[in-house]
Structure 1
Amino acid sequence: MDIRGVILDMKNTPIPYATIFLLNSDSTFINGCTTDDNGAFFLPDSLKEGMSLKVSAIGYNTLVAKISTIYFPATLKLENKSYQLGEVTIKRNRPMQHLSKGGIVTTVKGSVLSIAGNAVDVIGQLPGVRIEDEQISVLGKGYPIIYINGRKLNDLSELNRLSSNEIESIEVLNNPGARYSAETKSVILIKTIRKNGEGLSGNVQSVSRLAHSFSQSGNMALNYRHNNIDVFGSLALDYSKRYQKQDNSTHIDFNNEVYDLKSALTIFPLNTSYIANLGFNWQVNKDNTLGLKYEFYGIPNGSSNWNQQEKVFLNGEWQDEITYYTHWKRKTMPQNMLNVYYLGNINHWSFSLNNDFYYSKNTVNQDMKEDSNSDNGENTINSLNHIRNKMIATKGVVGYTLQKSKTELGYEYTYTDRIDNFLNYGILLPNSDNQIKEGNFAVFLSTNITFGKYEVSGGVRYEHTVSDYYQNKQIVKEQSRKYSNFFPTIDFSFPIKQANFSLSYTAKTRRPLYSQLSSNIQYDDRFTYEQGNPMLQSEINHDITLAGIYKWLYFSASYQYVRNAIVGIVESYSENEPINLMTFVNYKHISKYSSVLSVSPKISKWSPQLILNFMGQDFKINAMGKSQ
């Protein structure tokens, strides 16, 4: 029979990373393993008379037990070890990194990254990850989906509240497998250190930022643990004041006349937001955990003032000077999110179930005053945009582990309902009333098998999407969509001497954003409008990635072939006026490539890091009468 069980301390708390040795009657080593995060262990071996188990863990007394005295599955308890402490020296090493299926894992605990500050500070130092203007992106793969201990992160400000010394490891997947949505091109998995002890704990944090103007944020979090129940809650406030300045140059060829526009734009965004959450985690027993989390997000007062001076030249001669004063007012109240989850294990089987509910209301108001030095004089333009979003989502995964292989089978269903009402005042642009109802159903199967030093993992995901597009409460068949696609993925990991490599292929998609499908026409200035394209099709992205790691060197290179690529373009809005329309279209294909080289040696007490990134694309477009 297989040898399996769980290791607990005297308070019935699971002990992760305990070492299990199976010994013969003469104390010779037969087999060994370590416990997982839940304290569970598994040895695929047969029991014989005289065998014993030796269990050891840092901070606990070693336990040796005869097989004949143990009932399986076993529950073994370790006693805390008492220490007489002398002088203690704490050393922090460089972060340890190793390849995983589709990415790279960085160990934070015990490394210099554990004193970096918060989770954002740590993520910003990982190979192939870039943080700019508080946006996290994986080079060549876009914005990642982020998980903390298996829970999807909806509020990225939570990363600022997670201290670096609470993080055990971070895994960056630049080729996520079939388990994840076909639109997910990159994933960041954060694993925190298990917190011990009981009672009430909390923290308060305040941050001030200076970037032309002062911004402040603060949060307070409380946590209460008793037995196997963990109750938590937090409240965060953010006041953000920004500044942006840019110069624009626009060239328009219209009816054999040339318009040149030179403009200087200054933007002053101001935003106040509130985030609150409340929830609990309940470890029913060593094999079953369930929990609930509710999040509220609100922007009661978001505004932005745009000041623009534009000089207009016609055929090289000054024609006009126009000043634009635009005030944007944004309100998101309320935005509610609810997550209910369950995790379980039975022998070789594992189960997970996640259910999400989401609702939000957004209002955007634009007030613009346009003052021209020519005979056009002064104009006033107003627009009002109401958006309402609803979402229900569920995802279930069943896993089976047997010796050196693991197989997962799962489903995912998401239903969204978005209403977008747009009204224009003061200009002869059409109003719009759009609604999109979309259902996405997916099933997936994935497995990984280890052959000595080699590992192969692969999977396939099938997605069926029905998207109904409504205009003025009437369905528009031509703009409604149905998608049915298979998305395969495969990853092969292999060593070459002391270096480890992985070669992977995955197929992904990119569906148009709601804003890209919208028929709303937004007035930017006298020469520029913006509009979506309800006829957009989804992209299909074929990705091949090679990655390698040797000691403190990490390298990855990716090639992507994107079919039906969604591209932002500028085209003529009217045959009678020199007005540009910024919109989106599908192009047949684009080839993209990217590479990352990370060098992070340990030099005496220093841990320097150098990251080199290279990105490019092969794409031709006809613009201004020629191919570019």
Structure 2
Amino acid sequence: MKRINVIFLLLYIFFPAASVWGQSVEATDSIIRELQEVIVTAKQPSTKLVGSTLVTAIPGSNLADIGNALDVLAQLPMIKVEDNTVSVIGKDNIEIYIDGRPMRDNQELQQILSSNLKKVELLMAPGAVYESTTGAVLKITTKRNFIQGLSLTDQFQLMRRRKWSLTDLLGVIYRTGNWELFFNGSLNRSNSFIKGTTTNTLVYDGRETVVGSRQNNTYPTTAGSVKAGFNYAKGLQSLGAYYRYNPERGDFCNDGAEWLDDNAPLLRRIDRKIRAHSHLASLYYENAFADDYLLHFDGDFRQSRNKSSVATTYPESANPDVNSTDLRKSTLWAGKLYLKFPLGKGNFSVGIQGSYTHTSLDYRMLNEPVSQYIPSSLTDAKQTSAALFTSWARTFGKLSLSMGARYEYADYDFRVNGKRDGEVSRSDHLLTPDVSLVYSFNDDAQMGLSYKLTTVKPPYSQLTGSLSYTGLHEVEGGNPALHDERMHDVQLFGMWNGFMLQADFTRSLDAYAFVKQLYPADNLQLLMCPVNIDVSAFNLSLMWSKPISCWTPNATLRMYKQWLTLGNTSYKKPICSYYFNNTFSLPRGWMITANFNGQTRGDMRTNSFGTTWFVMDASVGRTFLHKSLTVKLTATDIFNSVNNNWTMSTYGVFVDKYQSSDGRGISLNIIYNFQPRKSKYKGSSAAEEELKRL
């Protein structure tokens, strides 16, 4: 009877409100065991390790009414949320899926209410069904609700750091019969102020030379989005499509100075204007037939245009202005088709994927003397790729096995000023296998081991050969000669009585890191650019999470250690870090969070990051009007203790970077829901990797 009373009390406190922004449930992933439905009680652990996947059940937990999906993710193990951007500790290139479709905009997480979440899964060893570059997959499942008629959700955020920023998100859905029509709109006006200094020390012409600069950067940006589409579902078949338009404009300014050796600083102002927009059209078709078969198709078209102009002036000297313009265009066509069905007493998936990408950058240097070492150029890159992937998973008693393979063909054509570069253009044939074994001793203890070979392609922005003027003695640019990274990844997972262990060893060949070096010119010039490196790294994380009455603590200890040598310099100092998140669910709809983190000084790639001993974020919120209205006040970096400083020593150039960002601030969030329900869109991106590279 006491147990039943606890359940009813939780239902009274955490009664969930549905959301406009949910999606339909994704089919079972090929590399993990599907969780059975369980009754949520006050004694259920908030997070469990299932194979190589961290699974968190939200209903009935202290996170059920915390706000939106971003607020939930910020309180979970191994997940970090900073400025509405989600990352996984120790993992690169993560993909986020919301009920089976990849997330393309961080605003989608803001638009999902925590009360509408069912579970969150973090796949630490994703299989061949995902892009070979994927380091981790975050799968979010929402509750189902089928309310006919009109529903609306509006979210407003006002934030004050060093500058004011505001965001408003609106979503409208109308459902009648088998049809669903939806419209989303957003407006974001943001501004930030970052200041710092950079000193470069090297030996030039036989003597020690110092090149320094001071920065006072402001980043006012106005961005918006308009999205409209439909879904149609009848029986076991469904289809849908949508169109999205994203305009953006920015007027950045850097009032600072630069100097050489002991000379007096020379005042400098850099103004950068950006005008950009993009179009995205997406469609899907899904058919479940013969009980256990699922056929799914996705198609995408994306086109973007980004035009910017940069003016560098020296108001108190005779140095001439340095002006430049660049125009970047990109186009993507992509398609993905897969079939899932039972085979050999397990689950089998097979599919094909293809894409065509075209990007161009027209860079114009308008200062004649500077154009002698930073010339104007027109770079053009085209890539045609095709992939075949398959995976199979089966459980043998207490042992679970999954394996998969992905074959990819890519033809890359790179041209400069209309002339093909034969050294950079290439065709690649890639095979990336993966395998995972998990043994379950009981419900509270298990151990798993996985291996995956990954190919990571550099972003297109790093493959351009164009150079940018950043000062009288400094240049930045990409590197069209970058190779694709090949990474071997071995992971060990374990769980025992609420404690979870994750150990990860990677060996990366032709990874890329940034370096600063002398650039050949008539005078002293330093070039910052990416280069290929070989690096080994070891990640070790120990996690613990267990609800205690109205308090849900979540603790993570992590150690990162790498082995990297570049020239005569070794980068191997480990980084130790901690994360301690706390959620308090109180009566009458009150919710309080208090999160702490810090890290020691250490090396990551070619950077040596400074020590941050203690950082604290906190929030307090409450629901009103039967949870239709949520008001929350959040404070970030309360003690202004985040250390963003770093150093780098490459090719005889020592860089000392001091940077003071505006992470300290306060924000007000208001969420209102009118007759909310979830979207049924089942589409997913046909080429998520290419979208990210663009």
Write the distance in 2 (CA, Å) between the matches of 1:170 and 1:602: 16
Q: Alpha carbons of 1:309 and 1:93: their partners in 2 closer, same or farther (altered >3 Å)?
A: farther
For 2:280, the aligned partner's letter is: M
Deviation of the 1:131 alpha carbon: 2.1
Pick the aligned partner of 1:517 from 437, 442, 463: 463
Query: 1:31-70 to 2 correspondence within 5 Å?
Result: none
Query: 1:269-418 to 2 correspondence within 5 Å?
Result: 269-285=219-235, 287-299=236-248, 301-313=249-261, 318-333=262-277, 335-347=278-290, 348-371=292-315, 377-401=318-342, 404-418=345-359
Write the distance in 1 (CA, Å) between the matches of 2:410 and 2:188: 37
Pick the aligned partner of 1:231 from 170, 176, 181: 181
Q: Partner residue of 2:556? A: 611
Tell whether the 8 Å contact from 1:107 to 1:168 is kept in structure 2 after alignment.
yes
Q: Partner residue of 1:13? A: none
Pick the aligned partner of 1:424 from 346, 365, 371: 365
Q: Partner residue of 2:511? A: 565
Deviates more, 1:533-542 or 1:494-503: 494-503
Write the distance in 2 (CA, Å) between the matches of 1:530 and 1:93: 55
Q: Unaligned regions of 5+ residues in structure 2, if any?
A: 1-23, 29-36, 568-649, 656-694
**Alignment: residue pair count:** 536
Tell whether the 8 Å contact from 1:620 to 1:627 is kept in structure 2 after alignment.
no
Write the distance in 2 (CA, Å) between the matches of 1:272 and 1:38: 34
Tell whether the 8 Å contact from 2:516 to 2:653 is kept in structure 1 after alignment.
no
Question: What is the SS of the residue equivalent to 2:76?
Answer: coil
Q: Partner residue of 2:523? A: 577
Write the distance in 2 (CA, Å) between the matches of 1:302 and 1:627: 32
For 2:487, the aligned partner's letter is: N
Q: Partner residue of 2:46? A: 96
Question: What is the SS of the residue equivalent to 2:64?
Answer: helix
Tell whether the 8 Å contact from 2:285 to 2:298 is kept in structure 1 after alignment.
yes
Deviation of the 1:371 alpha carbon: 4.9
Question: What is the SS of the residue equivalent to 2:461?
Answer: helix
Question: What is the SS of the residue equivalent to 2:320?
Answer: strand
Q: Partner residue of 2:690? A: none
Deviation of the 1:37 alpha carbon: 5.8
Pick the aligned partner of 1:620 from 565, 570, 573: 565
Q: Unaligned regions of 5+ residues in structure 1, if any?
A: 1-35, 41-55, 59-89
Query: 1:465-484 to 2 correspondence within 5 Å?
Result: 465-484=410-429
Q: Alpha carbons of 1:624 and 1:296: their partners in 2 closer, same or farther (altered >3 Å)?
A: closer
Deviation of the 1:223 alpha carbon: 0.8
Question: What is the SS of the residue equivalent to 2:565?
Answer: coil
When Rg is computed on C-alpha atoms for both structures, the one with the higher figure is 1
Pick the aligned partner of 2:397 from 444, 447, 452: 452
Write the distance in 1 (CA, Å) between the matches of 2:182 and 2:511: 44
Write the distance in 2 (CA, Å) between the matches of 1:188 and 1:295: 23
Kindly, what percent of the aligned residue pairs are identical? 26
Question: What is the SS of the residue equivalent to 1:120?
Answer: helix
Write the distance in 2 (CA, Å) between the matches of 1:311 and 1:149: 54
Deviates more, 1:110-119 or 1:596-605: 596-605
Question: What is the SS of the residue equivalent to 1:494?
Answer: strand
Q: Alpha carbons of 1:513 and 1:165: their partners in 2 closer, same or farther (altered >3 Å)?
A: same
1:153 aligns with 2:97: no
Q: Partner residue of 1:3? A: none
Question: What is the SS of the residue equivalent to 1:113?
Answer: coil
For 2:80, the aligned partner's letter is: R
- For residues 383-418 of structure 1, give each alpha carbon's deviation from its aligned partner in whole angstroms, at most 9, with x where no partner exists: 111011100111111111258510000111011011
Tell whether the 8 Å contact from 1:206 to 1:216 is kept in structure 2 after alignment.
yes
- For residues 150-180 of structure 1, give each alpha carbon's deviation from its aligned partner in whole angstroms, at most 9, with x where no partner exists: 1121111111111111111111122211001
Pick the aligned partner of 1:586 from 529, 532, 535: 532
Q: Partner residue of 1:116? A: 66
- For residues 440-485 of structure 1, give each alpha carbon's deviation from its aligned partner in whole angstroms, at most 9, with x where no partner exists: 1000110001101111001000001001011122322222021111
Query: 1:118-267 to 2 correspondence within 5 Å?
Result: 118-267=68-217
Tell whether the 8 Å contact from 2:27 to 2:100 is kept in structure 1 after alignment.
no
Q: Partner residue of 2:409? A: 464
TM-score (norm 2): 0.74
Question: What is the SS of the residue equivalent to 1:607?
Answer: strand
Deviation of the 1:99 alpha carbon: 3.1
Question: What is the SS of the residue equivalent to 2:423?
Answer: helix
For 1:291, the aligned partner's letter is: G
- For residues 285-321 of structure 1, give each alpha carbon's deviation from its aligned partner in whole angstroms, at most 9, with x where no partner exists: 1x2121112111110x2121112223321xxxx2242
Q: Alpha carbons of 1:143 and 1:511: their partners in 2 closer, same or farther (altered >3 Å)?
A: closer
Deviation of the 1:103 alpha carbon: 2.5
Q: Alpha carbons of 1:331 and 1:575: their partners in 2 closer, same or farther (altered >3 Å)?
A: closer
Deviation of the 1:114 alpha carbon: 1.6
1:598 aligns with 2:543: yes
Write the distance in 2 (CA, Å) between the matches of 1:319 and 1:331: 37
Q: Alpha carbons of 1:559 and 1:394: their partners in 2 closer, same or farther (altered >3 Å)?
A: same
Q: Partner residue of 1:78? A: none
Tell whether the 8 Å contact from 1:101 to 1:457 is kept in structure 2 after alignment.
no
Deviation of the 1:544 alpha carbon: 0.8
Deviation of the 1:126 alpha carbon: 2.1
Question: What is the SS of the residue equivalent to 2:109?
Answer: helix
Q: Alpha carbons of 1:452 and 1:612: their partners in 2 closer, same or farther (altered >3 Å)?
A: same
Tell whether the 8 Å contact from 2:26 to 2:100 is kept in structure 1 after alignment.
no
Higher RCO structure, 1 or 2 (CA under 8 Å, sep 6+): 2
TM-score (norm 1): 0.81
Deviation of the 1:625 alpha carbon: 5.4
Q: Alpha carbons of 1:98 and 1:608: their partners in 2 closer, same or farther (altered >3 Å)?
A: closer
Tell whether the 8 Å contact from 2:454 to 2:487 is kept in structure 1 after alignment.
yes
Tell whether the 8 Å contact from 2:79 to 2:89 is kept in structure 1 after alignment.
yes
For 2:205, the aligned partner's letter is: N
For 1:276, the aligned partner's letter is: V
Deviation of the 1:121 alpha carbon: 1.2
For 2:334, the aligned partner's letter is: A
Write the distance in 1 (CA, Å) between the matches of 2:423 and 2:344: 52
Tell whether the 8 Å contact from 1:140 to 1:593 is kept in structure 2 after alignment.
no
